[in-house]
Structure formats: C-alpha cells, structure tokens
Amino acid sequence: MNVLAIAAHPDDIDFTCGATVARLCEAGHHVTYCCVTNGQAGGRDSSQSRLEAAKTRRGEQNLAAATLGVKDAVYLDKPDGQVEANLELRRDLTRVIRQTKPCLVIAPSPRINFNNMPFLHPDHLAVGQATLAAIYPDARNPFAFPELGIDPHTVSQLWLLEDPEPDYFVDISGYLETKLAALNEHSSQFAVDVNLEEAVYSEAGRHSELGGSVFLAAEAFKKITYSDVEEISF
Ligand SMILES: [Zn+2]
C-alpha cells in the first residue's frame, strides 16, 4: 500500500507520528513524505542564511525519514510561515497525490486544537485545508487541474494529526526508540538542553490516555474514510 505523509515543515511528521510511520514501513508499506516548505524560518542559528537553513533542514528531514524506513521525500518549496491554502498549493498537492497514488494520506488537521496552544502553527492549518481539498474533490476529479496530465486518483483514507477530536489510536509501544532516533536527526531545531526522550515518552502517554489507555504508548489521529477499503494492516 502507498502512504503519503504531508507536512508543513521538516520534522512535523516525525514529531507527530514518526512511530506510526516506522510501523507502516516495517509492515512493507511504501511511505512518501511531502514537505510543503523547507522550514527555512526555523532554528536558532541567525548567522546562517535562510537558503543554508533550508538546505540543512532538508538534509535533516531526509536522514530522519530514512531512519524510519521512508524511501522518498518531496519538497514543494513554499515560503515557511506564509503557507496559504490557495489553488496553487491544491494543484501541487493534487500532482503529488496523483503521482504517488496513496491509499492512505496523513496530514495536519485544518481545525484549531486549543490544546496545542500557544504553539499551533498557522502553516499546519493551511496545509490541512489544502490537503482536504486536494483529496476531495481535486485529485479524483478528471476535470480538476487537467493541465497536470496525470490520471485522477482516489484516496481511501485520511488520518489527520493534531485534531481536537482524535478517534483513532496507533499502538507505538515498540517504536519509541526509533522515533527518538529520527527526531535526533533534527538537531538544528533543538536547544542542547532539551530532553527529547522525555518529550517523546510523555506525548505517547498523553495520547494513550486520550485513547482510553488501551495501549501503553500511542499516536493519535482523526480518521476519515473516503472509499471502502480493507482495514490498513500493519
Ligand atoms: Zn510545523
């Protein structure tokens, strides 16, 4: 099965669902990352040009993705911090969906989750909104963006990240160390004294509780089904 994980910035997917990605890859699914920006507005090094920062972050994302077993990463090169859910982004995402033909798309929720405040990024909301439109109706509609010259594609499921009402929980108990290893590749983004391990474990515990503590550690999603499909196994 093909999986497309869409994010606003390098490191978003690894933070929010890196362990789920590792599980999907281990189960033999082909996961592609799509980063809408290069994350050039992130980090702490003001001596670095923003072009250099973009290069650094792409490199970090490629290494982190490879750590989880991801084979491909594409970058749409939109300006970090200024992402808009406009027709141009919908067309770009439609192109990637039609090219990669995912059964499952993973993307940020377009809904404000006040539990994530004050660090909820507007780029995430814009990417979520554009992704919804790109899945339905754009990618499946032969009359939407015909200039792309690629056959329409219907996505079966969408798992939204950071949604205020998650209803699908993935057991990540055996994958926390792999997630941590991926996050450690994003070294330009963390102060040296940050305790990543504690952050990863406490977030996994929080999501587990949201899911009724069925699993010891979990990542949380809001699941949307577009077409009948066998349950995704992994
Ligand atoms: Zn982000």
Distance (Å, rounded) from C-alpha 78 to C-alpha 99? 19
Distance from residue 160's CA to the centre of ligand 1 (Å): 14
Nearest to 196 by CA among 186, 205, 209, 206: 186
pLDDT at residue 202, rounded to an integer: 95
- Residue 217 inside a domain? The answer is yes
For ligand 1, the distance from its centroid to the CA atom of residue 184, given in whole angstroms, is 16
What per-residue confidence (pLDDT) applies to 191? Answer: 76
CA 44 – ligand 1 centroid, Å: 15
In a domain, 63, yes or no: yes
Domain containing 208 equals 2-225
Report CA(151)–ligand 1 centroid distance (Å): 30
Query: Which two three-digit tokens encode residue 223?
Result: 């699941």
Q: What confidence score (pLDDT) does residue 63 get?
A: 97
Residue-level pLDDT at 190 = 80
- With respect to residue 123, please indicate whether it lies within any of the assigned structural domains: yes
CA distance linking residue 55 with residue 116, whole number of Å: 28
pTM of the model: 0.96
Dist. CA 105 → ligand 1 center (Å): 17
Name the token pair of 130. 């554009």
Query: Is residue 234 domain-resident?
Result: no
Give me the pLDDT at residue 35, please: 98
Residue 6 covered by a domain: yes
Output the CA 12–ligand 1 centroid distance in Å. 5
Give residue 120 CA to ligand 1 midpoint distance, Å: 8
- Contacts of 195 by beta carbon, 8 Å cutoff, 6+ apart: none
The CATH code of the domain that includes 29 is: 3.40.50.10320
pLDDT tens-digit readout, 189-221: 887 778 999 999 999 999 999 999 999 999 999
Evaluate whether residue 122 is within a structural domain.
Answer: yes
| The pair of three-digit structure tokens given for residue 74, joined into one six-digit string | 């594409």
Q: Ligand 1: distance of its center to the CA of 11 in Å?
A: 7
Q: How far apart are CA 234 and CA 182, in angstroms?
A: 20
**Rounded Cα distance, 132 and 94, in Å:** 10
Residue 230 lies inside a defined structural domain of this protein: no
Domains identified in the chain, total number: 1
Q: Which residues contact 24 (CB under 8 A, 6 or more apart)?
A: 3, 31, 234
CA of residue 230 to ligand 1 center, whole Å: 31
If the chain, 234 residues long, is cut into consecutive pieces of 10 residues, what is the mean pLDDT of each piece?
Answer: 97 97 98 95 80 92 97 96 98 98 98 89 97 98 98 97 97 97 92 87 95 94 89 82
pLDDT, residue 172, reads 97
Determine, yes or no, domain membership for 177: yes
- The 3-class secondary structure across the chain, one letter per residue, is CEEEEEECCCCHHHHHHHHHHHHHHHCCCEEEEEEEECCCCCCCCCCCCHHHHHHHHHHHHHHHHHHHCCCEEEEEEECCCCCCCCHHHHHHHHHHHHHHCCCEEEEECCCCCHHHCCCCCHHHHHHHHHHHHHHHHHHCCCCCCHHHCCCCCCCCEEEEECCCCCCEEEECCCCHHHHHHHHHCCHHHCCCCCCHHHHHHHHHHHHHHHCCCCCCCEEEEEEEECCCCCCCCC
